[in-house]
Amino acid sequence: MPQQHDQTDITGQRFGKLVGVETAGSRRGRTHWLFNCDCGETVCKSLSHVKLGTVKSCGCGKSKSNAINLNSGRLKQCTDEQLMAEVKRRGLSA
């Protein structure tokens, strides 16, 4: 039996620092939504993680070294946009 995806409309609803904007499809069996964060960033997050409270912001509360650490070669919950911004900031080529 195919997995049921959460069809709940959360447009305009607040979850921590995130406000639901629009659905962004499903990945790995989870419904994803675009959210606007209070800091001004727009992020795509799993609806189930946001509803459970596992995700409460875009990550703006974390230090940059915790979110992106290119020196050690490790990336933690880094979006493509964050990675490209960090690469550009450091003057590296992608």
Alpha carbons within 13 angstroms on the beta-carbon side of residue 92 total 9
Locate the domains of the chain by residue range: 1-60, 62-94
Residue-by-residue pLDDT tens, the chain, 94 positions: 345 556 789 999 999 999 999 998 888 888 899 999 999 889 999 999 999 999 999 988 765 444 444 555 544 556 667 667 766 777 765 5
pLDDT one-digit tens code per residue, 19-43: 999 998 888 888 899 999 999 889 9
pTM for the predicted model, two decimal places? 0.60
From CA 89, how far away is CA 67, in angstroms rounded?
15
Structure tokens at 91: 């003057």
The residue count of the chain comes to 94
